[in-house]
Chains A and B, each alone.
Chain A
Amino acid sequence: MKQRKEDQAWDLRLSAWFDGEASDMDAAEVRAHLMESPESRAKVQQWRSLREDLALLQPEEPSAEQLFTMQSRFEDGLANEVFRVARALRLWNRAAVLLLALGFGMWVADRLLLSVPTDTYASEPSAIDEAIREFLAAPASQD
Chain B
Amino acid sequence: MPLPKDQKPTTAKVAPEQLEELFRVYGSKIYGLALRCGLAPKEAEDGVQEVFLKVQRRISTFRGEAALSTWLYQVALNTLRDHRRKVVRQTRATSMSLVSDQPADPTFCGDSATPVEEASISERRQMVRDALDRLPPKFREVLILRELEGMSYRDVARVLKVKQGTVESRIFRARERLGAELKRMGVN
Q: In the complex, A69 Cα to B153 Cα: how many Å?
A: 34
Residue contact A11 to B172, C-beta cutoff 8 Å: yes
Q: Give min CB distance, A66 to chain B, whole Å.
A: 8
Residue contact A53 to B143, C-beta cutoff 8 Å: no
Residue contact B108 to A59, C-beta cutoff 8 Å: no
Q: Is B112 an interface residue (CB 8 A)?
A: no
Chain B residues with CB below 8 A from A58, complex form: 36, 105, 107, 148
Chain A residues with CB below 8 A from B106, complex form: 60
Residue contact A59 to B32, C-beta cutoff 8 Å: yes
Interface size on B, residues (CB 8 A): 44
Q: In the complex, A46 Cα to B176 Cα: how many Å?
A: 9
Residue contact A57 to B125, C-beta cutoff 8 Å: yes
Q: Is A70 an interface residue (CB 8 A)?
A: yes
Interchain pairs with CB closer than 8 A, number: 104
Query: Which stretch of A74-82, A103-111, A112-120, A128-136 is in the interface?
Result: A74-82
Given contacts A78-B56, A81-B53, contact A54 B171 (CB under 8 A): no
Residue contact A56 to B125, C-beta cutoff 8 Å: yes
> Could you name 23 residue pairs across A and B whose Cβ atoms are closer than 8 Å?
A12-B169, A15-B171, A16-B153, A21-B168, A47-B175, A50-B182, A53-B182, A54-B143, A56-B125, A58-B36, A59-B104, A59-B105, A60-B105, A62-B31, A70-B27, A71-B27, A73-B45, A74-B23, A74-B27, A78-B16, A78-B19, A81-B56, A82-B16
Binding site for A on B (CB under 8 A): 16, 19-20, 23-24, 27-28, 31-32, 35-36, 45, 48-49, 52-53, 56-57, 104-108, 121, 124-125, 128-129, 132, 143, 146-148, 152-153, 168-169, 171-172, 175, 178-179, 182, 187
